[in-house]
Amino acid sequence: MSTAQQPAFWVGHTPIFGDLILSPMDGYSDLPFRSLARQLGSAMSYTEFVNAMDVVQRFHYTERRLTYTEDEHPVVFQLFDDDPQRILQAALKVRKLEPDIIDVNMGCPAKSVSNRGAGSGLLRTPEKVAEIFSLLTAELDIPITGKIRLGWDEDSLNYLDIARIIEDNGGAMLAVHGRTKQQAYKGTANWDAIAEVKQTVSIPVIGNGDVRTVTDIQRIKDHTGCDGVMIARAAIGNPWIFARQDRHEVTDEQVRAMMLQHLELMLDFYGPEKGLIFFRKHTTRYISPYRFNKEQRQKLMTREKPEEFLELLDEIVLTQHAVI
């Protein structure tokens, strides 16, 4: 974690010590990965997004996603839904687990989410955004924040209107991914739009999109004036970016140590079978800079026992040198 004495910014009454944040990512920002990112300097812990409908109807199904450790504070629970009353019900329910902040997902472009009017689908109904923030900020005693995209598509870029609505209805912070729903993760993030949002509202603004290197961190801050920087895909396989270290600066020994620590956390959290299976998607990113053939990769990715995995890891990967 950051050792800075002065907060980089505040979310309501919650001080944030640091300007880099691991973005909430479905299937990735679980407790093990969040823990590593926090150790290296991520200033906040966002959970994977949670369906408000699941919270209300079958809370046990969501509990694992909302599990966190004390050293992760400040912890942000991220919810999604298209129904203002149901998202309020869910927020009141998860409040009992004592998060520091509750965040409303208005950025997920997945069809299963956005086509029902949730995630980035909420951008098409500004009146619902207003109602959600009005309800949540009136009924909860912790900051309510939002994560948005620029709009549904290039013909409906309503990010400034949405930003004003969020602030006017009590929102305490806003994270902006500089792409539309239609773009998903393609094309180039529009940092000019993030700068416009920063100039329009007085609450903290977090910039998100196309931050892949340490140099990019300062570039997006200089370009947009944002209070913090959210990093998503570039952190997978390179959590060292939160320590402001690019992957080519990371030693083979650091890679091995991090993989061992990450795998141990996954095994503890998910159990020996699922932990190893779920770790495979991280493995591919950790080892991507190394040269090895298809057969070696296949062997590594199909090991069923952690000890076999670790033995093969040392044998075919970390006896080489990264070729970044």
Alpha carbon distance 241, 234 (integer Å): 8
Least Cα distance to 227 among 199, 266, 253 occurs for 199
* 226 is annotated as an active-site residue: no
Task: List C-alpha distances in Å: 236 to 14, 241, 290.
Answer: 27, 10, 15
- φ and ψ of 235, to 5 deg: -85, -20
- Point out the catalytic residue in the list 11, 43, 91, 108: 108
User: Among residues 322, 315, 319, 312, which one has the least CA distance to residue 291?
Assistant: 322
With 0-12 CB in 10 A as exposed, 13-18 as middle and 19+ as buried, what is 22? buried
With vertex at residue 91, the alpha carbon angle to CA 87 and CA 94, rounded to the nearest 5 degrees, is: 135
Interatomic CA distance for residues 294 and 282, integer angstroms = 17
Per-position DSSP letters for 72-131, written without gaps between them: G-SEEEEEE-S-HHHHHHHHHHHGGG--SEEEEEE----HHHHTTT-GGGGGG-HHHHHH
**β-pair partners for 16:** 9
The catalytic site residues sit at 108
